[in-house]
Amino acid sequence: MPIRLLPDHIASQIAAGEVIERPSSVVKELVENALDAGSDSITIEVQGAGKRLISVLDSGAGIPTEELALAVSRHATSKLARAEDLFHITTLGFRGEALASIGSVSQMTVESRAVEETVGSHLVVEGGKLGQQDQMGVPVGTRIVVEDLFYNVPARLKFLKTDNTERRHIESLVTRYALAYPQIRWQLLVDGKPSLQTSGNGDRREILSALYGVDIARQMLAVDFKEQDYRIHGFISPVSLTRANRREITIFVNGRWVRDTAVTAAVLRAYHTLLMVGRYPIVTLFLEMPPEAVDVNVHPAKAEVRFRENDLVFSRVQRAVRRALLAYSPVPELRPRQFWGNQPETGTETTGQNWPSAAEIPFPESDANGADPARVQIHTGQLDADKLPLLRLVGQVAATYLIAEGPDGLYLIDQHAAHERVLFEQLMAQQSQERVPAQTLLEPVNVVLPPEKARLLENQLDVLEHIGFDVEPFGPNTFTVRAIPALIVGGDPEAALNVVVEDFEDDETPLAAATEAKLTARICKRMAVKGGQILSMEEQNALLRSLEACQSPRTCPHGRPTMIHLSADLLERQFGRRGAR
Ligand code: ADP
Ligand code: MG
């Protein structure tokens, strides 16, 4: 075949393949255009998971009648004039490809009226072919309706996921943009029903509630970090609030939603040792930096960016998140109000006078190679805030708590949570060294499981082996347990195996590491000493020493506190020895 230039409509379809992957890509491009047009209200309507219809109506500047046909052509943009402009882009769009791409794989109708016009216009594009343009009386702004997406690219349609999934993509996209632009009135209608509606009053907590529910929204911690011309702000979950995957880590860079493994890694590193392995925080971070610090022209759907100074971004994100975490979740310290129940409230909820503020916490600079995401998991540098001082055991109360004295006051330790933490770290350490001491049972135990559970277990026998079990299939739905992790010897093997299977039921995560960590935490919970169990002095001491040796002694593997700290300072004040109030 001779070489020839592709006709424009084919070139557009090829470009569309990169830009428009699924219905939510259309929503993203249209929403970005509406934002670039300076809208204060954006209404999105979706039918049939976006395959039937997507409509985006905005109150922005509009497209002048004489530019309408141009707007839907390829490489037509009002946002970029010179090549140099590419390096300080302040708009979301700049490639001039979106409308042409969408128009080439759907039936697209554009209605628009520019601010300076008295009447608007209307244009239909069908599979890339421009129809006739008419005058139309419409309000200032733009409405773009996209129908029968991919009707002329059936192969694309086949790649789409279920309607539920595609709808979820759209909803999560719109909600995230709503969170990023809280001063805009957003409305999302899915099959005629309101799915999201915001007031445009700028209150991000309100939108967080829509996204995660009131309860989670209330728990989210605010991040606000400034350094030179960088600002990093947003919301992060406390260590007690986690998810099984990193899907809830959302990063915006200069108002643009991007996927960025380095920023995500920096976030995770900030949480390192505070979260159980295989658990991830809920995070929405907005990074603001000078436009020239970031190259946005590296991905056709503009979903990735490149930072000029990657290391700098990495370390700033890490510090921003870590500071917010430390400011809000030190060992819970009893404050007078909680202690006596009748003291007048002082200070704010989260920064009462006994709580260190972020600024007071010394923060070690991350090491020079901080930006290397591969090293995140093996980072062992500890923050002083995580470490326990040497503790002197005083005794046990209510058969549930240990009391210990440290150089800085009194510690009340939950024996169950503390033991969970100790077992968890010991087991995880053994796993990482590929040698979980297994204890062979004197008598192998046969365990019969319901068929469904048996099938789940069969698929995971090698994971079990890695965490110290020796389990073999033995006839239908029956398994022989020959060994269990040495750490849990004394526990009931059948119960332990059941714990494991329950966990597979909850979450068939294919990631062995995540499964192992979850299982381990679960086993530790079952096997740890309970509240209400009397411990000998030796046992109490042993628990305390093991806890001191932990990497993250202050939380149990599920993120709950293992201890409460009554500082010497607090005690002195309470007893009127100093600065009595
Ligand atoms: P880009 O956003 O990269 O410029 P698009 O294909 O998305 O490319 O849009 C082409 C042009 O059409 C934009 O540069 C803009 O001038 C105009 N346009 C598109 N959508 C809107 C809108 N909702 N309001 C105003 N102008 C718009
Ligand atoms: Mg655009």
- State the distance from the centre of ligand 2 to the C-alpha of 292, rounded, in angstroms: 20
The ligand 1 atom nearest the CA atom of 62: 25
- The mean pLDDT value for 247-274 works out to 90
395-432 pLDDT per residue, tens: 999 989 999 998 888 999 999 999 988 888 887 777 66
Q: Is the model's pLDDT at 381 over the cut of 60?
A: no
Q: Indicate which residue's Cα is closest to atom 17 of ligand 1.
A: 71
Q: Indicate which residue's Cα is closest to atom 12 of ligand 1.
A: 71
What single DSSP character describes residue 189? E
The candidate with the shortest Cα–Cα distance to 563, out of 401, 425, 450, 422, is 401
Q: Indicate which residue's Cα is closest to atom 2 of ligand 1.
A: 93
What is the longest distance spanned by two Cα atoms in the chain?
A: 94
As a whole-number percent, the residues of the chain with pLDDT over 70 amount to: 84
Number of neighbouring beta carbons within 10 Å of residue 152: 15
As a whole-number percent, the residues of the chain with pLDDT over 90 amount to: 42
Higher pLDDT, 358 or 241: 241
- What was the pLDDT predicted at 234? 96
Indicate the burial class of 81 (C-beta count within 10 angstroms; 0-12, 13-18, 19 or more): exposed
Higher pLDDT, 518 or 534: 534
The pLDDT confidence band at residue 570, using thresholds 50, 70 and 90, is: confident
The pLDDT confidence band at residue 434, using thresholds 50, 70 and 90, is: low
Chain centroid to CA 476: how far? 41
Lowest mean pLDDT among 3-7, 54-58, 262-266: 3-7
Q: Indicate which residue's Cα is closest to atom 14 of ligand 1.
A: 77
d(CA 447, CA 482): 11
Q: Is the model's pLDDT at 323 over the cut of 80?
A: yes
Mutation to probe ligand 1, out of 90, 97, 99 (largest number of atoms < 8 A from CB): 99
- The mean pLDDT value for 116-126 works out to 96
Q: Is the model's pLDDT at 19 over the cut of 80?
A: yes
- The mean pLDDT value for 348-371 works out to 31
User: Which residues have CB under 8 Å from 360's CB, separation 6+?
Assistant: none
Q: Is the model's pLDDT at 57 over the cut of 80?
A: yes
Token pair for residue 273?
A: 């040792």
Q: Is the model's pLDDT at 452 over the cut of 80?
A: no
- What was the pLDDT predicted at 266? 93
Helices (H) and strands (E) in the chain, counts: 18, 24
Ligand found nearest the CA of 80: 1
d(CA 363, CA 383): 8
- State the distance from the centre of ligand 2 to the C-alpha of 544, rounded, in angstroms: 60
* Residue 32 φ/ψ, nearest 5 degrees: -60, -40
Ligand found nearest the CA of 143: 1
- State the distance from the centre of ligand 2 to the C-alpha of 91, rounded, in angstroms: 9
DSSP one-letter string for 260-325: -HHHHHHHHHHHTTTS-TT-EE-EEEEEE--GGGEE-TTSTTS---EETTHHHHHHHHHHHHHHHH
- State the distance from the centre of ligand 1 to the C-alpha of 178, rounded, in angstroms: 20
Mutation to probe ligand 1, out of 26, 30, 31, 36 (largest number of atoms < 8 A from CB): 36
> How far from 515 is each of 142, 161, 378, 506, 511, CA to CA, in Å?
49, 26, 19, 11, 6
Name residues contacting ligand 1 (CB within 6 A): 29, 33-34, 37, 58, 60-63, 71, 76-79, 93-100, 142
- State the distance from the centre of ligand 2 to the C-alpha of 18, rounded, in angstroms: 14
Ligand found nearest the CA of 78: 1
- State the distance from the centre of ligand 2 to the C-alpha of 32, rounded, in angstroms: 6
d(CA 147, CA 131): 15
Question: What HEC string does 361-383 produce?
Answer: CCCCCCCCCCCCHHHHHHCCCCC
- What was the pLDDT predicted at 123? 97
- State the distance from the centre of ligand 1 to the C-alpha of 62, rounded, in angstroms: 9
The ligand 1 atom nearest the CA atom of 96: 8
Mutation to probe ligand 1, out of 26, 59, 77, 117 (largest number of atoms < 8 A from CB): 77
- What was the pLDDT predicted at 494? 77
d(CA 359, CA 505): 44
- State the distance from the centre of ligand 2 to the C-alpha of 98, rounded, in angstroms: 5
Q: Indicate which residue's Cα is closest to atom 20 of ligand 1.
A: 33
- State the distance from the centre of ligand 1 to the C-alpha of 40, rounded, in angstroms: 16
Q: Indicate which residue's Cα is closest to atom 7 of ligand 1.
A: 98
- What was the pLDDT predicted at 240? 78
DSSP one-letter string for 401-457: EEEEEETTEEEEEEHHHHHHHHHHHHHHHHHHTT---EEEEEEEEEEE--HHHHHHH
Lowest mean pLDDT among 20-24, 40-44, 140-144, 539-543: 539-543
d(CA 106, CA 109): 10
- What was the pLDDT predicted at 364? 32
292-304 pLDDT per residue, tens: 999 998 888 888 9
The pLDDT confidence band at residue 505, using thresholds 50, 70 and 90, is: low
d(CA 99, CA 79): 14
- State the distance from the centre of ligand 1 to the C-alpha of 56, rounded, in angstroms: 13
570 near 416, Cβ under 8 Å?
A: no
d(CA 447, CA 471): 10
467-483 pLDDT per residue, tens: 778 888 888 788 999 88
106 near 149, Cβ under 8 Å?
A: yes
- Ligand 2 is an ion; residues with CB less than 5 A from it: 33, 93, 98
The ligand 1 atom nearest the CA atom of 144: 23
22-55 pLDDT per residue, tens: 999 999 999 999 999 999 999 999 999 999 999 9
User: Which residues have CB under 8 Å from 57's CB, separation 6+?
Assistant: 42, 43, 44, 45, 141, 142, 143
The pLDDT confidence band at residue 372, using thresholds 50, 70 and 90, is: very low
Question: Pseudo-torsion of CA 528, 531, 532, 535, nearest 10°?
Answer: 50
51: left (phi over 0), alpha (psi -120 to 50) or beta: alpha
3-state secondary structure of 173: helix
Q: Indicate which residue's Cα is closest to atom 19 of ligand 1.
A: 33
- State the distance from the centre of ligand 1 to the C-alpha of 99, rounded, in angstroms: 7
- Our CA angle for 70, 76, 81, nearest 5°, is 125
Q: Give me the residue label for tokens 């090491």.
A: 367
Amino acid at residue number 366: S
The total number of residues shown for the chain amounts to: 581
